[in-house]
Amino acid sequence: MLLLHAQTARLELREFTIDDIANIYALESIPSVARYQKWPPRTWLEAEDVIREIVDDQKSIPREHFELAVWHGRTFIGRVGANVKDGQASLWYSFMPAWNGKGFATEAMKAFISLLGPVRLKIECDPRNTRSWRLAERLGFAKIRLTEKEFVCKGEWVGSLVYQKEPPPPPCLETIEEDEESS
Alpha-carbon distance of 183 to 180, in angstroms, equals 6
Structural contact between residues 11 and 108, judged by C-beta atoms closer than 8 angstroms: yes
CATH number of 5-123, picked from 3.40.1390.20, 3.40.640.10, 3.40.50.620, 3.40.630.30? 3.40.630.30
pTM, two decimals, is 0.87
Q: How many residues are listed for the chain in this entry?
A: 183
Domain residue spans in the chain? 5-123
Q: What is the pLDDT of residues 88-111, one digit of tens each?
A: 999 999 999 999 999 999 999 999
Other Cβ atoms less than 10 A from the Cβ of 12: the count is 17
Please tell me whether residue 44 adopts helix, strand or coil conformation: helix
The tens digit of pLDDT for each residue in 22-31 reads 999 999 999 9
Question: Distance of alpha carbon 112 from its chain centroid, rounded?
Answer: 7
